[in-house]
Amino acid sequence: MLSVLSVTFPFFALVLCGYLATRRGLLPLAAIPGLNSFVLFFALPCMLYRFGASTPIAQLLDPVVLGVYLACALVVVGGTVLATRRGRIGWNDAAFGALVAAFPNTGFMGVPLLVALLGAQAAGPVIVTILVDMVITSSLCIALSRLDGAGTQGMGAALRSALRGVLTNPLPWAIALGGMASALQWHLPGPLDKTIALLADAASPVALFTIGAVLARSQMNAHEQVRVADYVPVALVKLFVHPLLVWAAGHAAIRAGLPLSPFAHMVLVLVAALPSASNVSLLAERFGAHNGRVARIILVSTALAFLSFSGAVALLT
């Protein structure tokens, strides 16, 4: 366990640094969008491109990995919506609660953390999960959020808006370009490759610091009182129910003879054990959901994940 903590501690320590810097006023709130933009449009796409280009194309197009992870994400979304949609919590808040329960912080935290723990071969399954969450899970939850008084017409408009968001997101394009480079065995010219490498190396520390800053900003801007029962159970679903479901589904797939390797299965479980994605707070704010509740789910899951994720790694490796 100590050897696992020696790897995971620096990652969560950087999140804490970003959180404390923002809470103490060392990092102005106005600077956070700039950090987000750097990570989203420069550093993280370069990191995903490099991993995609160095990963065999068969791993990036693994239908069993995609199917197991997607099935579990849909179960988590459906179960969370059914369990939380009651009384004050309508479709909008229930849908974003479900998204934060099913969408791990894979891009900003999971890719560098799992590669550091398991090696570069972990990048293939992780990239598949990023595509599932960005293209399918998030689009579905955004569409469900529009059912409050808007009917199927509002749901369709929201789905189209979500798909437009996917098309303008640089991460899927970076993955696609990396996959093409892998399939064609194409390599960037030396100076350009070094530039991409410099930006990719900056992705992990800046992304982790930014997660902490975003969490602090969300907490500082959330003035409404939220009942503990409205957010702690969802955080626990993210950290415990989701990975257990992925473990059970992957085990069933292996027992059924599907070509899912034990290593890929382990990576999927650890992806599901990650805390909630911090960018869901931005989506909730954009679509008028109760952002204070969503921010608290993300904050609780991130704080508890230091021990729960490290424990999952110790059990599985």
pLDDT surpassing 80 at residue 157: no
Q: Is 170 left (phi over 0), alpha (psi -120 to 50) or beta?
A: alpha
77 pLDDT exceeds 90? yes
- Alpha carbon distance 274, 264 (integer Å): 16
**Residue 136: which CATH number?**
1.20.1530.20
Give the angle 77-103-161 at the CA atoms, nearest 5°: 80
Residue with tokens 């608290």: 296
Whose CA is closest to 242, among 86, 110, 85, 61?
110
Render pLDDT for 90-137 as a digit per residue (tens, 0 to 9): 888 899 999 999 999 998 888 889 998 999 899 899 999 998 998 889
Two tokens at 226? 């939220």
Q: How far is CA 219 from CA 59, 283, 293, in A?
A: 38, 16, 10
Of the chain, the percentage scoring pLDDT greater than 90 comes to 47
Helix, strand or coil, per DSSP, at residue 86: strand
Q: Count structural domains, the chain.
A: 1
Residue 47's closest CA among 209, 229, 170? 170
Per-residue model confidence as pLDDT tens digits over 216-275: 887 787 666 777 888 899 999 999 999 999 999 999 999 999 999 999 999 999 999 999
Q: Which domain holds residue 223?
A: 2-316
Per-residue pLDDT, 134: 86
